[in-house]
Structure 1
Amino acid sequence: MAYHKGTSLASVAKGQQDREVDFPKGPDDTISALRWSPVANHLAAASWDGRLYVYDVTDSTSSTTIKGVAAITVGAPVLDCDFSKDGTIAIGAAADKKIHLMDLNSSQTMTLEAHTSPVRSVRFVTVPSANAPIIASGSWDRTVRYWDMRQPQPIASLEFPERVYAMDAAGRLLAAGTADNNLHLIDLHADPGRIWKSVKAPLSSKISSVSLSADGSRWALGGIEGRAVAQAADEKDKNMSSLTFKCHREASTTKGGQTDVYAVNAVCYSPAHRDVLATAGSDATYSIWDVVARQRLRSFPKVGGPVTAMAFSRDGMALAYAVGYDWSKGHQHNKADAETKIVVRCFGEALKK
């Protein structure tokens, strides 16, 4: 299938009410990551079933109009995914220590023998000094490595004191959250081989997710104890002070006067507005926040199971999220009939004008 640019979801949604549409049945196990193409209405989904899926969401009026256009069978859990800047290549980070790639025009695949431990995160990044598209991969082997797809070996490697648990890239920045609860920022334009700044995460437990605003000026973290934080990358940015807030918590139904706390499985900024951040949790809910006004913009009812991944479309007019078991309650609570699905919420109007 030729990979082409699609119409914006804003033009489709104009004049309509919010609506949700389930994707056709696809992944057979927990979905670990979702990513939209930067140039088309295509969505990649990384799954623990050992596959990377790509869907065409140009027509999202029903489950039957959303089409699966490609799938890479990896054979090991796929932990993250991304698209190239022109949308022609989909990549997956896998527990087999490799990066898996597919050319969506030719369906050709290739593999990079990437790390000595599972690859947790992958992003196509912009490095002006390079003369080719560059992939950054973060791994539990405590490194971030940079790849030119024309070469079998990394072109550079950056070592960290601990395992890379989450990673994102936008603008000139790459952000890597590590197991020691530090967020490391790398300036890809100045020196991709050196950590520009490290910040101790204001979270009491481990980092579960990282997101950068589209211009790279802001970062956000989610933690496993029902707390998220948003902050300007440059402390000189006076438009936004650090915001740490409790989320994905609810009054306990079994312990009087106490609160049940759930993991924040995903945080993501809207590409259309750097003030807008979404969070998703093990409590089967997701919410949208204004990080400057410091308030919740939208909240939504429970969706039937933990929300394991989410991503805004390139125009901010749709939010895809995944429902499935997230292992927050251990193996004993994993049920064979637990539902795994992808849902897209299309917004009738912009979240923030």
Structure 2
Amino acid sequence: MNKWKSTTATSAAKGQQDKEVEFPKGPEDTISALRWSPVSNHLAAASWDGRVYIYDATNTTSTDSIKGVAAITIGAPALDCDFSKDGTLAIGAAADKKIHVMDLNSSQTMTIEAHSAPVRAVRFVNVPSANGPIIASGSWDKTVRYWDMRQPQPIGTLQLPERVYAMDADGPLLAAATADNQLQLVNLHGNPLQVSRSVKSPLNHQTASVSVCPGGTRWAIGGIDGRAAAQVADEKDKSLDSLQFKCHREPSTSKKNHTDVYAVNAVCFSPAHKDVLATAGSDGTYSIWDVRTRSRLRSFPKVGAPVTAASFARDGMALAYATGYDWAKGYQHNTAGVERKIVVRCFDDALKK
């Protein structure tokens, strides 16, 4: 395993120069996913309370300046969310096996009877052979399905060997992490109905999160074992060969010479720079890394509860993160004292020059 340059990490004090603003109270349960619009400062938040919340965060001077503008009511835990490429549609993936879509201009909603098991992940994808916006949904029924909203049936189904635990897409690349500890890579500009390459996860334990960088040239994953990894989609390119690193770990307070390991609940590339990756974990911290130089750009102090989701704004100058209980310690630790909130950190300067 290549060593990570922890000596170049920026101190938490550096991060304190940035501005951090909490969103107004909204979700009544843990936030499972956050996604920024690709064309505006709108944020979608999928929650276990059965809704996808849409916020306008154009003005982040204070909590009162951030406005809730819509909510997709589902009635079952919302597990993921996304915006269309033009920002006019918001979608939610849910445990009710359906995809829920809202037109943000008219507030009209529609439901797609999508899968035979909960829908774990959903993305608007670029499929050049299709005439119109296409939704890709990954499910615990071991399929990825493609949807043209003008049709009630999927326009295509990709059968996978196991359940989809996490999924992301950008440009030609769709990456789906499956329960057999494999990463299924799909060329959306080639044959979306065929896995172009199946990669054994470089992590030893279950993958919890996946991110594809802008343009689809790289992917990154986070695992339940306090590790993350990043690779180049083109297997001939060795620039990130064997890149994996430990994160979201700390010395044990109860066992001498032991390390407490926490799940990496979220990994996300910055839309503004393919080298910049954020990780967020059950330890209540998040960090920002440069995968090309293999160094940490920023680290931040603990936020008081597990960080369950994170997402970079379209210009890379802000990172939204959510705190709440992530079930890592079982139901008995899901107490009222675990604070559920969404926070945006607006960076004082660019993460990459």
TM-score by length of 2: 0.95
Aligned to 1:177: 177
| Alpha-carbon distance in structure 2 between the residues aligned to 1:126 and 1:291 | 25
1:145 is paired with a residue whose SS is strand
Structure 1, unmatched stretches of 5+, are: 1-15
- Shifted more, 196-205 versus 86-95: the winner is 196-205
Structure 2, unmatched stretches of 5+, are: 1-15
Aligned-partner residue type, residue 193 of structure 2: G
Alpha-carbon distance, 1:157 to partner: 0.2
Alpha-carbon distance, 1:257 to partner: 1.1
Aligned to 1:136: 136
Contact in 2 for aligned 1:232/1:242 (Cα 8 Å): no
Aligned-partner residue type, residue 165 of structure 1: Y
| Alpha-carbon distance in structure 2 between the residues aligned to 1:243 and 1:289 | 12
- Matched ranges for 1:39-188 at <5 A: 39-188=39-188
Alpha-carbon distance, 1:292 to partner: 1.2
**2:315 is equivalent to residue 308 of structure 1:** no
| Alpha-carbon distance in structure 1 between the residues aligned to 2:184 and 2:271 | 22
Alpha-carbon distance, 1:202 to partner: 1.2
Contact in 2 for aligned 1:119/1:140 (Cα 8 Å): yes
Alpha-carbon distance, 1:235 to partner: 2.0
Alpha-carbon distance, 1:17 to partner: 4.2
Aligned-partner residue type, residue 299 of structure 2: S
Aligned to 1:234: 234
Alpha-carbon distance, 1:336 to partner: 2.2
Aligned to 1:250: 250
Aligned to 1:333: 333
Aligned to 1:207: 207
1:332 is paired with a residue whose SS is helix
| Alpha-carbon distance in structure 2 between the residues aligned to 1:275 and 1:249 | 23
Contact in 2 for aligned 1:202/1:244 (Cα 8 Å): yes
Aligned to 1:285: 285
Alpha-carbon distance, 1:237 to partner: 2.1
TM-score by length of 1: 0.95
Alpha-carbon distance, 1:241 to partner: 2.4
CA offset digits 1:234-268 (Å, max 9, x no partner): 12224332311000000001101110000000000
| Alpha-carbon distance in structure 2 between the residues aligned to 1:32 and 1:256 | 34
Aligned-partner residue type, residue 59 of structure 1: N
Alpha-carbon distance, 1:205 to partner: 1.0
Alpha-carbon distance, 1:338 to partner: 1.9
Alpha-carbon distance, 1:346 to partner: 0.1
Contact in 2 for aligned 1:266/1:280 (Cα 8 Å): yes
Moved over 4 A (4+): none
Aligned-partner residue type, residue 340 of structure 1: R
Aligned to 1:262: 262
| Alpha-carbon distance in structure 2 between the residues aligned to 1:180 and 1:203 | 12
1:161 is paired with a residue whose SS is coil
Aligned to 2:224: 224
Alpha-carbon distance, 1:94 to partner: 0.2
Aligned to 2:197: 197
| Alpha-carbon distance in structure 1 between the residues aligned to 2:239 and 2:334 | 44
| Alpha-carbon distance in structure 1 between the residues aligned to 2:289 and 2:152 | 42
1:80 is paired with a residue whose SS is strand
Aligned to 1:13: none
Alpha-carbon distance, 1:295 to partner: 1.0
Aligned-partner residue type, residue 329 of structure 2: K
Alpha-carbon distance, 1:348 to partner: 1.1
Aligned-partner residue type, residue 100 of structure 2: H
CA offset digits 1:149-171 (Å, max 9, x no partner): 00111010001110000000001
Contact in 2 for aligned 1:42/1:58 (Cα 8 Å): yes
2:325 is paired with a residue whose SS is coil
- Shifted more, 190-199 versus 330-339: the winner is 330-339
1:124 is paired with a residue whose SS is strand
1:337 is paired with a residue whose SS is coil
The count of corresponding residues between Structure 1 and Structure 2 is 338
1:64 is paired with a residue whose SS is helix
